[in-house]
Structure formats: structure tokens, C-alpha cells
Structure 1
Amino acid sequence: MMQIHTLPLFTWAMQLVLAFLLILGFIQVYQYIGRRTWSVNITTGLRLGFTLSLGLGLMHVAASLTLTTTLYANAGLFVLTLPLFDTRSTNWGYGCQALGLLGIWLRYHTPNSLVATLTLILLLGGLWGIRLIHLSPRQRLFVEALVTLLFGTIFWCLRPHWQGAVAAWLMFVIMTGATMSYWFFVQHRKLVANVALDPLTGAKNYGAFEQELQAAFGTAQQRQQPLTLVMLDIDYFKNINDTYGHLAGDQILTDFTAALQQQLATAGFQHVLYRTGGEEFNVILAGQSVTDSRPLIAEFWQKIRNTTFTYDDQPINFTISVGMTQLRPTDTQVRALYKRADRYLYQSKHEGRDAITIEGTSHYSMRHNSLVATYAFFTQAVLDFEKDQSIRNELLMRVYYPERGKWLRPLDFNMAVSDQIALMRRTIAHSTIKSVALNLTPQQFRNEAVATELIQFNRQLRFQNQTDAGERLVLEITHAPDLTTMQRMSQIYHAGHIKLTMDSVGTINAYEQVAPLLPYLDYLKFSVQRLDDAQRRTEGLTLIKFWKQVADDHHLMFIVEGVETDADLSTLKQIGVRYAQGYYFGEPVLPRMT
């Protein structure tokens, strides 16, 4: 039978430290097994074999020694008890772990085996019930600490020989407290790290970017070291979502992030990657100039445009636009660095996309010399049911593929705003439309240079069969901007007599994003999904009614696009929708060019 001896304080303290280190090592191995991509049963089996062999082994050693009995007994008890709290383990895994603990419990509590057994069974039953209760991580950690202490207290209190049991129990209490504190620290650190991460891609998010760019800016200034900021944006990402679906878009974002992380890792630079918008990414390169980092980014640009990504066996190709700048002696605030990188990113877009702009100079641009010949705006009417007439036409970009003999929705075309204006002029000149709606990307919407071009174009418009100024140009915003941008740009556009529509409300743009922007909008557009079964129809109608009410409450025009059937049209009329567009009224058409 195991005998517990009273130890000198120093020896007892050293045993406590050794036991704590042993437990930390056990936790690391236990978690490592769980992180491996094995099946649940394999993971449970490996963890069970590891914990039982280690725990029973420690308890066996404790029964064979004298001075180190407390060390091994407490460590073994902890190893056998802790996995019982793992809610990811299977039922059979929990049962085997409990049987192992029961066996060692009986060995150490003769002749009080009956009382000890009943007590343990009650504890295990209570613990099983706790496993079924949904608790927050902090609540679960607190409960686990209490139950662990209860296991240790009962284990030592039911020992038939009390000599040294108090010291052994005290060691177990301190071990539990120290281990749970360490575990809480680790979980808290993970929680803080996860808050700063984008859940889809694993890159850091915009909140982390703001804080860490400011810190990197201050460090670079203080140490007089170079600092480079790189902005990357996937060209026409909305077309990927529209063509292949949002799951495909998510996969592209994930694959793009992995490719960029791999590229950055090969260079050996100090770097941090952030996803700061839907398809916009930023890279902070501390200690690197643009001269040092240009080859790295250029190689990645080339790799992306030459790589065919896949989703559900469908090939997807796309390009990226990049803006790069480094810290300058005249930069007194981090905002100057950020705005310059943002301006260079827009310049890459304006130069035709698929480009890298470094300190104001664009490189590697892929330009089309015959944009008007290969690209065109198709038009699709937005109808007013009450007046039975078109109120405007949305301009939909299409590109002609000679090898297929078709006009198709472009996936990775390059189009600067000035080129879009040229196409709009040509479209309007050869049609009878009186008002047009043009889609703007987030980068285009927040750029004042783009606003100046569009306002000037709006003033020059002269539509056929239109005698008054009327409503000439309406802009559709594809992604909700931040409130500050919306306030600034809406004032500019409204002063230029251009109205604003928030596109894809309820899908791409959630209510939480749109709500603060409502005072600065003129229209809301909802994209209706297929209503071909009862469940989809119910969900779709609920959303349409909600957004119509939002529009009515803020005196905004509400438009539903995607109408395809008589049933769709009838349903919309019944709930009071007045404006709509879709294939039911006619496919997008190409104005005749003369």
C-alpha cells in the first residue's frame, strides 16, 4: 500500500514545480494529438492510450516509492482526471477513461473501497451531466477547476492513512490552480488573437491593421528604418460572385490569401498580411523599401495572372491591382502613408487594372487598345408598374469573345472610369434611353477624382427625346462603404445632381452595414433569389417586405431585380413593390452601333 510521508518544505516545493511542468507537457501532447487531422475515433483512441498509459504508470510508480509518492500520485491523478472534461471525446472514450480512474481509485482506497467507489461514480455521473450543458469558455473553465479540486479533495480525504495527506492535497490544489490559470491565459491569448483575425481567410482584419500600421509607422520613424505598405485588390471580384456564386468567391479569397502568405514567407521579410475589405488586402513590410520588395510583389502578381484557380471543378482566372509606397520623411501622420497607397491602388485600377503602381508610376499594365470594339454596355430597363414605363436603364458590362462568337459577362476585364464614360456616351448616342444606372466598385466610389469625371459627364449628358434636365445618371454602389466615406462622397455626388443606390441589400450588403448610410441614399435595390419552392418563397418575401419597409421609412425608392416569372411579378405587386427589373421584362440588350 502506498505510504505518504511528510517532506521538507524545499523538497515539497521542488516536487510541486516538477509536477506542474509534467502536467504542462501532458497538455501540450494531448492538444497536439487533437490538432491532427485524424477521424474522431482515431483521435479518441490515441488520446485514451496516451492518458491511461501515462496516468496509470505514474500512479503505479507512486505506489512503489516513498519520498516522491506525492509528486507521482498527484500528477497521475491529474492526468487521469483532466481528459474527462474534453467534450470532443466520444462516449466510449469517456467510459474507458472513467474505468481507468475507477481502477486506480479502488487500489488506493482499500479498505474504504465501497465508499470511495460510490463517491467516484457520483462524481463521474455529475461530470457527465456537466458535459451536456452549454457553457461559455470562461464558465466551463471555472466548473472544471472546481470539479478537479473536488476529485483531488475526495481522493486524499478518503485515504485510510492521513500521514502527509494534507500536504499531498495542498500540492494538488496548487497544481490545479496553477494549471487552470495557465490554461486560462492560453485561451485568453487565443481569444484576443482570434478577435484580430478574419474568420474566412485567417489573415488579420481591419481593426488589427489600423493599430499595427500606426505602431509600425511610429517604430519606423523612431528608428529611421524603411517601411513599405502594399495594397492589393482582386479585380472585378463581384463578377466571380455573380458568375460562380458566393461560395466560389469565398474559396477564391481563401486560396488567394494562402498563395500570398506563401509568397511572403519565401522572401524572409518581416511581414504582416491583412484583409481590410471584401477583396482588398494590405501588407505591411517593416524594414523594407519599395526597391527591396518590388520583385517579390511583381512575382506574385505574375503568379496570380498565370494561375487557374478552381471551385467545384470550374476553372476561375482573375487578376489583381496593386499600389505600393514607402514611408517618406515628410509623412508626419500614418494617414499620409495610407492615403498614398490607396491612391496608387486606384491609379492601377484607372490604368486598366492588372497593374502595379509604385510611388506613382504604373508597371506591368495590361491595356486593351480597342476597348470600344471589344467591350460594350448592354442595357436593361427598370420599370414602374403604376405608370407601365421604364424609369431608367441599368448599364451592364459585356465583353465579346470572338472564339465563341458571344457577348458574355466579363470576369477579369480592365476598364478605367474614363473608358466607361466613353462607352456610356456611345451607348446613349445610339439608344432612346433617358436615364442610366452605373455600378461603382468601393474603390471607385470613394475616389474623388472618379466623382469629378462622372459629375462632369452628367452635366454634359443630352439624352434623345429629353427636353428637361431630369434624372440622368444614377450610381449603384456594389459594397457598403464606411460612414465617413458615405457622408463625404454623397455630398459631392448630390451636389453634382447624381443620385445614389445601394445595390444588393440583404445579400452582399447586410442591414447592419446599410442602416447608418440610409440618410445619404436615394434608392435601395434588392436582388430577389429564386422563389421556386415554398420555403424559398417565404424567406424571400420576408426579406422583400423588410427592405421595402426600410425604404418606405426613409422615403427611398425600392427596386427589386431578378424578376423572372408571372408569379414573381404578381407577388411583388401584392406586397406593394412598384419598381422592378429582370429577365421577365426582357434580357439585357446591346444598343445598335452605327
Structure 2
Amino acid sequence: MDEFQFHFQPKVDVQNNRVIGYEILLRNKEQNPHYPAAKMEKIIHSKKEHSHFLNWFQEELVRLVQLFPTVQFSINFAPRQLFYPETTDFFTTMQPYAKQLAIEITEDAPLFAASTENVDSLTIDQQLQSIFASIKAKGYCIALDDVGSGKNSLDEVLKYTPYLDQIKFSIVKCTKKDIKEETLHLFLGAWQRFSEDYHLDFIVEGIEDQATSEGLKEQGIVLQQGYHFGKPSKCIKKCR
């Protein structure tokens, strides 16, 4: 796994102008690093390769959290990865650091488990709920990524709300579709209210300029992430 490296992007509470943690983003080691989508797809589809990847990931993560014991980190898992027993072992091994970690569940294809061993498509939701409950019981924070703007619709979010601590909304997909600003703020307001009703942190990512950040702050959305606060970097600074 020498071709992979960690990059970090800050999450910011703009109300207090404070970095509250970092999302760990997997990148390759090319001159212009980017997420190795094709490579990771092959890894996720192979139990053996995925096991090797988790071993590397665990070693790197332990080294990181021990180096920065007061910093909060988010790590991404695709739903397909959660069905491997090696992933369960990973969460058990990393449990001493659970309070320092948030597990971000990315969006995935509706039939994401079709090629995963021992998964009945009729019970995917029930099995995921059980997996989420197990992760939660180990003390991890769980976040659901790309709500409302991807495949994680309201219906999907409601299935897993009892196990969630955070939901994340990316405005990038909305702005690319030329949604009117007023409509976008109403849409975000609905998700913000949903988060308040279910006692979830609501994080908006994809913030690329001060005007957008200020507009969301005025709306009461203060947990933000995006290039405006820092592009993914190999270096981090301790949270204040």
C-alpha cells in the first residue's frame, strides 16, 4: 500500500473560528494527488486486498492518533466495506481511540452489497443497522455523508438516524446544478431543522469562498468544511 498517503482537510466552527477536527482523505502519490477511485474499487471488491488495505490503514491511523492525541479525525468507509469481518476486527482493535475518531459512511450504489460474501439483499438494511449499532456501542461517532445531495436521501437517513451523530451535506453538487441560492438555503434549512429535531450535528462541506461561509453562518449553520478553510494537505495543525 505504499502508493497511498493521508491528506487532511479541516472542519471549522465558524461561530467560534475554531478548527474542530480533520477529515482524513486518501490520496495517491502522484504529482497532483487525488483519490485513487479505480484502485479502491478493486480493493473493496477483494476480501484479500481489502484486508491488506485495512492493515496498512490501521498502522498509519494508530501512528497518527498517538502523535496527535487531542485532535479529532474522521475516516471514510463505504457501506460495502462494513460487511467484511476484517472491518469489524479493525473497529475492535481501534476501540481505544474511538473517542478520537468519527466514522463517515459514504454514499454507495443501492446494490452495494451484491458482490459481498454472505449478504442477502433483502436484509441489507437490517444488517447495516446492526453494524451501525455495533460501531456505536464501541464508542465511535458515526456520520452519514452527502445527505440530500446524493444517494443518501431522507428515506435512507431515517433508517439509520438512531445510530448517527452527524450528517454532512455537500453544496458542491447543488451549485453544479444551478440551483437558485434562495432554494438552496431553504433546502439546507430543512436539513438543519431535521438535524436539530434528531439532535445531530449538521456539517456543510464544499465551502469555497467567504461569502458562502458567511451566508450559511447567518442561517445558523456554523459547522463547515471546504477549500475556503484549506485544501487537503499532508500536514495538520493541532486544533485550538
User: What TM-score range do you get, normalising by the shorter chain?
Assistant: 0.7 to 0.9
- Corresponding residue SS for 2:38: coil
Q: Which amino acid aligns with 2:135?
A: Y
For residues 228 and 90 of structure 2, the distance between their equivalents in structure 1, rounded to whole angstroms, comes to 34
Equivalent of 1:476 in 91, 97, 104: 104
What pairs with 1:124-523 in structure 2 (closer than 5 Å)? 371-372=1-2, 374-401=3-30, 405-413=31-39, 414=43, 416-428=53-65, 434-459=71-96, 461=97, 471-479=99-107, 482-508=124-150, 509-523=152-166
- Corresponding residue SS for 2:180: helix
For each residue in 1:489-537, what CA deviation from the matched residue of structure 2 results, as whole angstroms up to 9, or x when unmatched? Answer: 1221122111111100012211122222212211100001264998432
Structure 1 residue runs without a partner (length 5+): 1-370, 462-469
For each residue in 1:170-227, what CA deviation from the matched residue of structure 2 results, as whole angstroms up to 9, or x when unmatched? Answer: xxxxxxxxxxxxxxxxxxxxxxxxxxxxxxxxxxxxxxxxxxxxxxxxxxxxxxxxxx
Whether contact under 8 Å (1:377, 1:427) holds in the other structure is no
Question: Structure 2-normalised TM-score?
Answer: 0.77
- Corresponding residue SS for 1:573: helix
Equivalent of 2:189 in 545, 548, 551: 545
State the structure with bigger RCO (CA 8 A, min sep 6), 1 or 2.
Answer: 2
Question: Structure 1-normalised TM-score?
Answer: 0.33
Q: Which amino acid aligns with 1:484?
A: Q
In the TM superposition, residue 555 of structure 1 has moved relative to its aligned partner by 0.5
Change (3 A) 1:487 1:411: closer
For residues 578 and 375 of structure 1, the distance between their equivalents in structure 2, rounded to whole angstroms, comes to 32
In the TM superposition, residue 448 of structure 1 has moved relative to its aligned partner by 4.3
- Corresponding residue SS for 2:160: helix
Higher strand residue share: 2
For each residue in 1:243-289, what CA deviation from the matched residue of structure 2 results, as whole angstroms up to 9, or x when unmatched? Answer: xxxxxxxxxxxxxxxxxxxxxxxxxxxxxxxxxxxxxxxxxxxxxxx
For each residue in 1:295-341, what CA deviation from the matched residue of structure 2 results, as whole angstroms up to 9, or x when unmatched? Answer: xxxxxxxxxxxxxxxxxxxxxxxxxxxxxxxxxxxxxxxxxxxxxxx
Whether contact under 8 Å (2:166, 2:201) holds in the other structure is yes
Q: Which amino acid aligns with 1:528?
A: I
In structure 2, the partner of 1:578 is 222
For residues 537 and 432 of structure 1, the distance between their equivalents in structure 2, rounded to whole angstroms, comes to 40
Whether contact under 8 Å (2:8, 2:22) holds in the other structure is yes
Identity within the alignment, %:
24
Change (3 A) 1:534 1:397: closer
For residues 380 and 454 of structure 1, the distance between their equivalents in structure 2, rounded to whole angstroms, comes to 23
For residues 66 and 136 of structure 2, the distance between their equivalents in structure 1, rounded to whole angstroms, comes to 25
- Corresponding residue SS for 1:507: coil
For residues 128 and 177 of structure 2, the distance between their equivalents in structure 1, rounded to whole angstroms, comes to 38
For residues 528 and 537 of structure 1, the distance between their equivalents in structure 2, rounded to whole angstroms, comes to 11
Whether contact under 8 Å (1:458, 1:472) holds in the other structure is no
For each residue in 1:435-456, what CA deviation from the matched residue of structure 2 results, as whole angstroms up to 9, or x when unmatched? Answer: 1111111111233431231232
Higher helix residue share: 1
Structure 2 residue runs without a partner (length 5+): 44-49, 111-123
Whether contact under 8 Å (1:431, 1:591) holds in the other structure is no
- Corresponding residue SS for 1:524: strand
Worse overlay, 512-521 or 427-436: 427-436
- Corresponding residue SS for 1:591: coil
